[in-house]
Amino acid sequence: MAKRVCQAQVTLLELGILDETLHYGPYSRYWWKTNKAFDQDISYFPIRVGQKTQIILNDRKFIITIVVGHPGNPDLPGYVCQSDTFCTKNPAHNPSTAISSIYTSIFNTKTRYSGPLIIGWTNYEIVSQLLIDVSFFPFFFNLGQIKIFVFGIGSSSREDWNKGGSGYQSSLIHMYGNKQGLYMLFNSKMPSIQSHLHLSYITVRLVSPD
């Protein structure tokens, strides 16, 4: 079980940035976190590239930095932890693994800490800062048993399209053959996006109402 820590021990050192290709691109569903900790209208907040937080455990400083990619996938968030001369060799796929591995190396114990807690995602003040300069907040909706993640919306004068237009972009995860696939659905006059790297995805172009 992950160990809980006092939120007052977590400090945001660097806010990090929003990256258009990551936060509003094919893998964007992995660059936003559900805002479950607070009663707000905003349901998601971004995982910012370069976000850096510091937490003090056993009178020792641990700094966690969010980077792009980890050994399992070069397009998803990676987490690096450093404490003095101790540092993760490769970015971890979650913050809990990143800090717990360094903590184990230093104190020779298998204590595991909660990722959202140690990176400040349950801290109201920190999450409020992460929302700065966000122009569009993605959202999910369910279509039967499929959860669709919408990360772009366009508009038009077409009443029969509920005034929707080019610019709509969304993704969903579904089985493709015997493998899990990431599908992109978009309405745009831009050329089709091509499949690449580790987590392949399939694009479906919608008919433009314009």
Give the pLDDT confidence of 177-207 residue by residue, as tens digits.
677 777 777 665 543 433 333 344 444 444 4
Report d(CA 182, CA 173) in Å as an integer: 5
Handedness of CA 154, 40, 174, 66 (dihedral sign): positive
Q: Give the domain extent around 168.
A: 139-205
Number of domains in the chain: 2
* β-sheet with 139-143: strand ranges across: 139-143, 146-152, 169-176, 179-186, 201-205
Question: pTM of the entire structure?
Answer: 0.80
In a domain, 210, yes or no: no
124 with 155, same domain: the answer is no
pLDDT of residue 124: 87
- At 90-148, the pLDDT tens digits run 999 999 999 999 999 999 988 888 888 899 998 888 998 999 999 888 888 888 878 88
120 with 63, same domain: the answer is yes
Q: Could you say which of 79, 108, 130 is where a domain stops?
A: 130
